[in-house]
């Protein structure tokens, strides 16, 4: 279904843009494809740290595969679809089981890769049934996911009473697409609720920025005893949130009474992101509001996510055209600060912080020092995937 709907349009766009690409002095592919091809070259048979390791099931894999999927939709080249199938088939059994997936963990991070399952479940010539069965398993987790008193998903079972910004991207685009595909309109109401609770409990009214986490119990060391909020603004957390907003809208019915509410959240966030963009580099800092503080640095993954969300928001008419300039400045910052051209002709992406969390062992206290303590990596999936998606948006904007 998706194949027949998208591929003719993709081929039409490819034909329409071919003269621009082929009459240049050098036949250079768009950066989205260059990075996608580089990625496939690094991990031809898996997404693990070694090329021959069986792919893990996780949110990092999910965002990288979604980026590859977008390149396939844009170009119509079968090799990208074949790659998605190859990686997914490491993880999915013919009975729909998911390798190393444990429902009892109730971990929202396990939902994100399900978006690729929904795509593959609609492609002619594939074993659609097994992908659908696996997607049903993930949806079952969401049906049973522990929640706060007013219905906000716990990020994981082992993080009781806690909502994290990350969780919105992990669960809600999957949930919205699932609701559309399987005609379950009540699912859309639940998606809106998750965003509304984040806006209620995690948005700082002074700056408009969003705190990384919220602890309903106020028991965590990192939680403010009055508000339950974590102490700092982490840019990638807000990046996940911004991407989730523009992606769930792809599936929301135009006449849904709360669709406008989601657009308003994006419109509220966009000027905040523009305010905290580094005027020198065009990128965004690891700790969003403390760019001048010693040790802070511009971070790749968050910057890619913000560029993607802003550019897509402009393209689809959710945001005013002035944010196109913000996205363009941010994208130029990505190219200047983080993209590296390798001797073998591939691309690399520098500057992605490896992780950011709260609590756990060893304990992560959400302090400024904590966010600066995590290592920075090259070619991290959480940066590469959003870079590909940001590049696609900017390439579409140019056309």
Cα separation of 267 and 269, whole Å? Answer: 5
> What domain range includes position 323?
2-398
**Entry pTM:** 0.93
Q: What is the pLDDT of residues 200-231, one digit of tens each?
A: 999 999 999 999 999 999 999 999 999 999 99
CB distance 261 to 196 below 8 Å: yes
Per DSSP, the residues of 364-390 read B---HHHHHHS-EESS-HHHHHHHHHH
Catalytic entry in 94, 109, 166, 250? 166
pLDDT of residue 21: 40
User: In this structure, are residues 300 and 351 in contact, taking their beta carbons and an 8 Å threshold?
Assistant: yes
Buried b (16+ CB within 10 A) or exposed e, 223-252: beeeebbbbbbbbbbbbbbbbbbbbbbebb
Q: What is the mean pLDDT of each run of 10 residues along the chain (399 residues)?
A: 41 38 61 98 79 71 97 98 95 94 97 98 97 98 98 98 98 98 97 98 98 98 98 98 98 97 98 98 98 98 99 98 98 98 97 98 98 97 98 95
Distance CA 241, CA 256 (A): 21
Cβ contacts of residue 12 below 8 Å, gap of 6+?
A: none
| Contact assessment for residue 367 and residue 329, using Cβ atoms and an 8 Å cutoff | no
Query: In a 3-state reduction of DSSP, which class is residue 95?
Result: coil
State the pLDDT at residue 22. 39
pLDDT at 53: 52
Q: How many residues make up the chain in this entry? A: 399
Contacts of 226 (CB under 8 A, 6+ apart): 218
**Rounded Cα distance, 177 and 64, in Å:** 18
Residues 6+ apart with CB under 8 A from 54: 46, 48, 90, 99
Measured distance CA(58)–CA(248) in Å, rounded: 20
Residue 84 structure tokens: 């998605």
Number of domains in the chain: 1
Structure confidence at residue 172 (pLDDT)? 98
* pLDDT at position 56: 78
Q: Is 89 a catalytic residue?
A: no
- Identify the CATH number of the domain in which residue 360 sits: 1.50.10.10
pLDDT tens for 250-286 read: 999 999 999 999 999 999 999 999 999 999 999 999 9
* Rounded CA separation 219/187 (Å): 31
What are the start-end ranges of the E strands in the chain? 162-164, 213-215, 339-341, 347-349, 352-353, 376-377
Cβ(156)–Cβ(232) below 8 Å = no
135, two tokens: 């997607």
């Amino acid at each position: 279904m998706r194949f027949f709907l998208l591929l003719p349009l993709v081929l039409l766009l490819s034909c329409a843009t071919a003269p621009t690409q082929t009459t240049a002095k050098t036949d250079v592919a768009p950066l989205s494809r260059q990075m996608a091809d580089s990625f496939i070259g690094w991990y031809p048979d898996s997404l693990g740290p070694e090329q021959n390791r069986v792919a893990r099931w996780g949110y990092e894999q999910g965002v990288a595969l979604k980026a590859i999927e977008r390149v396939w939709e844009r170009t119509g080249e079968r090799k990208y679809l074949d790659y998605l199938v190859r990686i997914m088939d490491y993880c999915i059994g013919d009975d729909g089981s998911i390798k190393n997936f444990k429902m009892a963990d109730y971990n929202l991070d396990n939902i994100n890769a399900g978006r690729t399952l929904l795509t593959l479940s609609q492609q002619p010539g594939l074993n659609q049934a097994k992908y659908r069965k696996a997607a049903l398993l993930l949806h079952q987790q969401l049906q049973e996911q522990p929640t706060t008193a007013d219905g906000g998903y716990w990020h994981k079972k082992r993080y009781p009473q806690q909502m994290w910004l990350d969780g919105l991207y992990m669960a809600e685009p999957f949930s919205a697409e699932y609701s559309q595909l399987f005609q379950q309109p009540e699912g859309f109401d639940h998606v809106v609720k998750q965003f509304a609770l984040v806006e209620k409990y995690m948005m700082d009214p002074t700056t408009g920025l969003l705190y990384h986490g919220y602890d309903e119990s106020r028991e965590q060391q990192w939680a403010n005893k009055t508000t339950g909020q974590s102490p700092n603004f982490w840019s990638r957390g807000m990046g996940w949130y911004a991407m989730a907003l523009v992606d769930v809208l792809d599936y929301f019915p135009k006449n849904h009474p709360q669709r406008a509410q989601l657009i308003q959240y994006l419109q509220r966030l966009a000027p905040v992101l523009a305010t905290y963009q580094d005027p020198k580099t065009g990128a965004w800092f690891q700790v969003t509001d403390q760019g001048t503080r010693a040790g802070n640095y511009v971070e790749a993954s968050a910057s890619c996510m913000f560029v993607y969300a802003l550019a897509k928001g402009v393209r689809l008419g959710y945001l005013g055209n002035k944010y196109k300039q913000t996205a363009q400045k941010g994208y130029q910052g990505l190219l200047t600060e983080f993209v590296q051209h390798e001797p073998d002709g591939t691309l690399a992406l520098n500057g992605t912080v490896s992780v950011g969390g709260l609590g756990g062992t060893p304990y992560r206290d959400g302090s400024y020092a904590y966010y600066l303590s995590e290592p920075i990596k090259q070619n991290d999936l959480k940066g590469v995937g959003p870079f590909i998606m940001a590049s696609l948006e900017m390439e579409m904007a140019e056309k």
